[in-house]
Structure formats: structure tokens, C-alpha cells
Amino acid sequence: MIRCLVIDEMHSSLKSLLREIGVQIDYEPDLLPAEVPAALAEKPYEGLIVRSKVRVTADLLRHGKHLRFVARAGAGVDNIDIAAMEAAGLALLNAPEGNEQAVGEFAVGLLIGLLRKVASADVEVRRGEWHREANRGYELQARTVGIVGCGHMGRSFARCLRGFGCEVLGYDNDPAVQPTDYLPLVPLEELQQRCDVLSVHIPYSAANHNFINEALLRGFQRPLWLLNTARGEVLDHAALVLLLREGKLRGAALDVLDNERLGALKPEQQARFEYLRKANNVVLTPHVGGWTHESYQRINQVLVRKIEAFLSNA
């Protein structure tokens, strides 16, 4: 049996699933980030399974002399230095299929909540206020939804929208991404001309930092509702607040922020967060779009299938 080190909290099914394919794990979710290099060097681990505890860098990989692969339990790989992985000749495995349904459903929920003012209306009623006219909302059926990033998460959102009768358009700058019957691809300029809603599903990378910026948002011809369930750093939050103040954006639903450590915000981030948390046309959630009881277990299943395929083909 080959041996893997697991350093993050995982669903309890992982150990038995891996044993079935001939993989033994040392499950160490209580390791502190500073303790991971020494733990990795201690035994001849051929695999490292992570979530978000550490950045997988060239320095960390040097401690894993026997490593063959790193598996990320989730979709995003922005905490992994892909160039360092390639230089070390290691395989990178991840599991976007494990939480794509969760993200798709959640994005629909955010959008409905935004269009129908669910969050702010809930707060008002709990205060003993009953304002029907002020909470008159909009129907999704009459809207055109634009999706930027048409990989697993963007396609899942588009599939979940099919029953609402709204028009859905997608944009992706990756030529490998292909259109589907429920997610036609159009140029970004067409998205800007036709859409009422923009939903962001692109991964974070240096190239995508603040990809959704003031110039891009001002290019939309209609007042826009904006959703971000991807990564906070792909959205310029200064532009977001500016355009919300101006009314160029009708509202925003954010499951991610540019800094999610709310106790360690920089002054400019704190000022933006204060505006967002008080705005009645903004919905905020704590990065839970892909985090369900089902996805927690399904990620294991997807990851183990990919580990098995890698070991079979190695």
C-alpha cells in the first residue's frame, strides 16, 4: 500500500475509500501549518491531501522526497503553486465535480434572494416592520443572466437556472471550454450589451486578479445585479462599492470577499466592508456556496476516483 498524509479535516469516509484502492493514510487534521513540513518529511509519503491549511509551495514540496501527487479536496487550487508542482514532476488532483451542484444551487438562491429582497425584508419583519411596496421585487424569468467562467461551477449554475425560463449567456476566455445547449458562449461585449445579471465563476490566478473591475462593469448597458461565488480577489471591491453607491449596480450577492479574515481587515477593506454590511441591496454569506453535507462526502468520492486513476496510469 502507498501512504498519504492528510493535513485537513475531511469527511470520515476518506480512510475506507482510500483503503479500498490500496492507499493508507495518516490523518493529521490537527497539525499546525508550521508543523506540516516536518510531518511530510517524517515518512515516505507518496501523496499529500490538503484543503486550505497551507500553501503548497516549492519549499514545502522539498520536504516530501517521495511525493508523487498532491490532492486538493475541493475545486480551487489557488493555494497551490502549480509551477512548483510541474517543476517537481508531481501530479495535481482536485475535485470540482464534488461541489459543483452545491455551488449551482446556492448561486440560484443568492440570485432569487437578491431580486426579491429576501435578506433585507427578513430583517425588517424581525424588527416589527411590514413594508410590502418597498420590498416589491423582480422576476428571474424576465432577466438575462450572464455567466463569466463556464467551467464546472458556471455550467452547474446554468443547469440549475433552466427551469426559470430566463435567458442565460456565458463567456470564457479558455478556448478549451465548449458551449452547451443550456449555456451558449458569446463574446464579453455581447454579455455587456444584453445582461441584467452577472455571475462570476472564474478561478483565482494572478491573471484573474480584479478581472471584474470598474471598466468591465461600466461596460454593461443595463443596471446590473452582481453575484460572486468564486474567489473574492477576482472582484475589485473598491469598484464594487463605488458602483453600488452610484446605482450602476442594483445589488450584489457575495459569498466571498477580498479578505475573509474579518478580524484582520486593512483600513480600506474595513471601510468597504462597513458599507457592504449595512447596504440593504447586498447579501453576504461566509464562503459556503460549495459547502453542504452532500458535497463534503462527494468530494472524497471524486478525489479517490482520481487518485485511483492516477495510480493505475502511473
Q: Which sequence positions are flagged as catalytic?
A: 231, 260, 287
Distance of CA 273 to the CA centre of its chain: 20
**Distances from the Cα of 114 to the Cα of 35, 121, 299, 303, angstroms:** 43, 11, 29, 34
Q: How far apart, in whole angstroms, are the C-alpha atoms of residue 297 and residue 243?
A: 39
Q: How far apart, in whole angstroms, are the C-alpha atoms of residue 220 and residue 274?
A: 26
Q: How far apart, in whole angstroms, are the C-alpha atoms of residue 244 and residue 312?
A: 52
Q: What are phi and psi of 64, to 5 degrees?
A: -100, 80
Q: How many CB atoms lie within 10 A of CB 250?
A: 18
Number of residues written out for the chain: 314
Q: How far apart, in whole angstroms, are the C-alpha atoms of residue 232 and residue 203?
A: 10
C-beta contacts of 77-81 below 8 A and 24+ residues apart = 77/203, 78/203, 78/204, 78/205, 78/231, 79/50, 79/52, 79/54, 79/55, 80/50, 80/55, 80/56, 81/55, 81/56, 81/57
Question: Cell numbers at residue 81, please?
Answer: 503553486
Q: How many CB atoms lie within 10 A of CB 163?
A: 10
Residue whose cell numbers read 424581525: 126
Helix (H) or strand (E) segment spanning residue 146: strand 144-148
Question: Cell numbers at residue 46, please?
Answer: 507518496
Q: How far apart, in whole angstroms, are the C-alpha atoms of residue 7 and residue 267?
A: 33
258 HSE (CA, 13 A, CB side): 24
